[in-house]
Each structure stands twice: as structure tokens, then as C-alpha cells.
Amino acid sequence: MTKAPTPFVLWFTGLSGSGKSTLADKTADFLSVKEYDFERLDGDTLRGVFPSTGFSQAERDEHIQRVGFMSGLLEKHGVIVIASFISPYRQSRDFVRKRCRNFIEVYVKASLATCEARDVKGLYKKARAGQIREFTGIDDPYEDPTRPELVIDTDRESVEESMQRIMDSIQKFL
């Protein structure tokens, strides 16, 4: 590695099944090969560490704000942050944006029908059956970002096309 990158927070947001984790993982793979110092934060992983995190709007907001605060601290100390969270509410994402110097919001956009068809965890099926309550996109809203730095439409773009656009958007920091 010849020069140190400028740290940034790459925040993937979108419905469950939209492709956030796939794209974030591939971005992390790229950074790893280049030997950049980064941290990969994922909603499922952190909920495993903090199992008492609930799904009400207040609990989701609090969770995202904690992760956003942590992301800002990591960035401040020179670490690139790759975060993938449904983060359904604009107010929480705006909180995170304000805590970061170089915040790149990536809206991983996919139709509800596409996300339900991809439902590898069976969560949509459980939500439709009433076994999961307050599920984003079913009985809890997802507020589309109003000014994301990047919109990745996984209904229309291949993973390769999406990754090229992500790489183009972070290149100035590397």
C-alpha cells in the first residue's frame, strides 16, 4: 500500500433481501485484498452481539444511533467503515451522517416482490404469517433515502455492475 486512504463510512441501507450484505461483503473483500484498514459492521452480526436490541421504532433508532456513533469514531481514527443495516428511518440515517466526516449513503433499492422472492432467511414468510411483527416493508415502513450518494437498483443491475459503481464512488478516498 503506497498511501493511506482517507477514511470514510460506506453505509448500505435498504430492505431485507435487497442485497446490502452481498455488496458490503464484496466491498470488504476488495479492501482486504488492497490491505486497507477497515471494519465491517452488519446488522445481523451486531444483533447477535446485542441480542436485547428490539424492533420497535425507538429501539431501531437507538441501535442505529449507537452503530452510527461507533462508525464516526472508527472513521475519526482512520478506519474505513463498511456498514450494512436496514436502517429504515431517515432520522436515524441523518444522525449517522452528522457523526461522520465522509459519509456515503448507498441505497440498495429492490422492490418488495424481489426481496420476498430472495427471502433466504424466510423472514418475509414469517412476517406475512404474523410470526414476526414490526417487520420492515410489511407492517413497518421503510423510508427511502431522499439524497443518497448512490442508488443501486438490484432489480436491474448485476452484482458486477453494482460493484463497479460502488468502486467508482469510493475511489477518491483510496
For the chain, the distance separating the N- and C-terminal CA atoms, rounded to the nearest angstrom, is: 10
Catalytic residue among 71, 87, 92, 162: 87
> Using alpha carbons only, what angle is made at residue 35 by residues 81 and 100, rounded to the nearest 5 degrees?
20
Q: What φ, ψ does residue 22 adopt, rounded to 5°?
A: -60, -50
Contact 19, 110 (CB under 8 A): yes
User: CA dihedral in degrees (138, 143, 148, 150; nearest 10)?
Assistant: 10
Cβ neighbours of residue 84 under 8 Å, at least 6 residues apart?
A: 12, 20, 21, 23, 24, 41, 42, 43
Report how far residue 163's alpha carbon sits from residue 33's, in angstroms, rounded to the nearest whole number.
15
Report how far residue 44's alpha carbon sits from residue 51's, in angstroms, rounded to the nearest whole number.
10
**Cell numbers found for residue 121:** 432467511
Annotation marks residue 158 as catalytic: no
Catalytic residues: 87
